[in-house]
Amino acid sequence: MEERLQKVLARAGLASRRGAEKLIEDGRVSVNGRVVREMGLKVDPANDAITVDTIVVPKVAAEGKGRRTYLLLNKPKGVLCTVKDDRRRQTVLDLVPPFQGKRLFPVGRLDEDSEGLVLLTNDGDLTQRLTHPSFGVGKTYDVRVKGKLTTEDAKKFEAGVWLSEGRTARSRIQVRRSGPKITHVAVTLTEGKNRELRRAFAKLGFPVMSIKRIQIGPIVSRGLKPGQFRPLDSDEIKALKELAETGAEGRVRPVRKRSSSEKRPRRSGKPDPAKVHTTKKKWQRNAGGRRNPMTSRNTEEQAETGQRSGRPAKGQAKGRTKTTGRKKPGGGSARGGSR
């Protein structure tokens, strides 16, 4: 069965889905001896010979029949959350030994100045689902900021903060300890931009002092110290996969498409047209069916006296004012002027 090349590479554990796309763009991937640079190319992992640089992708790994590895690492500060660094700085893969020659990669990112939990795996499908914002998998961070964070400030953060690339997604924030100089909060994000926490809190006037990721979906550290790692147990792997399949809202993804005969659900906050009683304007029309401008809707003042536009009130002579009954200045006609 044919599948997209980047998906096959990610499933084989050579890189994440985005990393596999970068390998293809750089011309480092060959299929049956031909260098491939186009995205979306479909290959047959059981029959096609796939090579990355000089590494031949095993057919067992490409077909997804190889054994999967799932590790939880407590990343210390100063360690890069990446597979390889050109400047030879320490990465998360330097903290774990190779497992039976399988290539692991981190699920998502955690910046160099932050610490906390990072998932390492060679399961490309799971990685793609856990990192995609549409599934809403929450990641909880322990954050310390300078200043006293009020309830109003917390609500502003939860509603979203405007950054250079757009507004941050909705989040949850819980104030743990609040002092005059330092506030200790727990923040849960479902979609993370580059250094989002630091930039968003700084935008609100609260510089970040430290960030530590303490939970990924249902996974917690269980006493891991910085630099230590442990394999996930079967229950944790099952919970992660269920979360990746259904998302945080508990719906099975992808969502079923609505047929043409089904009605589109009404947006929240808008009135139901079936329950809104509208009053049509009653325009008087002439014999030709057109609106007569001289018989339009009465004003409030005209309604009190029973007068319609262009007609004097009952008992009121032409050329006299409504209040005094005197003639208007300028002549004996209501139109004004002398004849």
Q: Read off the CATH number of the domain in which 30 is found.
A: 3.10.290.10
pLDDT for 61: 60
Q: CA-CA distance, 69 to 120, in Å (whole number)?
A: 8
Q: Which pairing describes strands 70-75 and 115-121: parallel, antiparallel, or unpaired?
A: antiparallel
Low-confidence ranges of the chain (pLDDT < 50): 250-264, 266-270, 272-286, 293-310, 321-322, 328, 331-339
Co-location of 108 and 233 in the same domain: yes
Co-location of 115 and 239 in the same domain: yes
pLDDT for 40: 84
Burial of 171 (0-12, 13-18, 19+ CB in 10 A): buried
For the annotated catalytic residues, the residue numbers are: 111
Q: Is residue 259 part of a domain?
A: no
Co-location of 209 and 148 in the same domain: yes
Co-location of 172 and 183 in the same domain: yes
Co-location of 149 and 210 in the same domain: yes
pLDDT for 102: 67
Co-location of 143 and 196 in the same domain: yes
Q: Over the stretch 188-237, which tens digit does the pLDDT of each residue have?
A: 998 878 889 999 999 999 999 999 999 999 999 989 999 999 999 989 99
238 three-class SS: helix
pLDDT for 206: 95
Q: CA-CA distance, 211 to 142, in Å (whole number)?
A: 6
Burial of 26 (0-12, 13-18, 19+ CB in 10 A): exposed
For residues 72 and 213, is the Cβ–Cβ distance under 8 A? no
The number of distinct structural domains making up the chain is: 3
Q: Is residue 112 part of a domain?
A: yes
For residues 318 and 325, is the Cβ–Cβ distance under 8 A? no
Residue 102 — φ and ψ, nearest 5°? Answer: -85, 140
Torsion of CA 9, 11, 17, 19, to 10 degrees: -50
Residue type, 165: E
pTM, two decimal places: 0.58
Q: Is residue 149 part of a domain?
A: yes
Co-location of 113 and 102 in the same domain: yes
The residues pairing with 172 across neighbouring beta strands, listed in sequence order, are 188
pLDDT for 199: 93
For residues 104 and 93, is the Cβ–Cβ distance under 8 A? yes
For residues 90 and 79, is the Cβ–Cβ distance under 8 A? yes
Co-location of 151 and 200 in the same domain: yes
Co-location of 118 and 239 in the same domain: yes
pLDDT for 76: 95
| Domain encompassing residue 209 | 138-216
184 three-class SS: strand
Q: Is residue 307 part of a domain?
A: no
Angle at 303 between CA 300 and CA 307, to 5 degrees: 125
Co-location of 40 and 171 in the same domain: no
The residues pairing with 175 across neighbouring beta strands, listed in sequence order, are 185
The residues pairing with 216 across neighbouring beta strands, listed in sequence order, are 139, 219
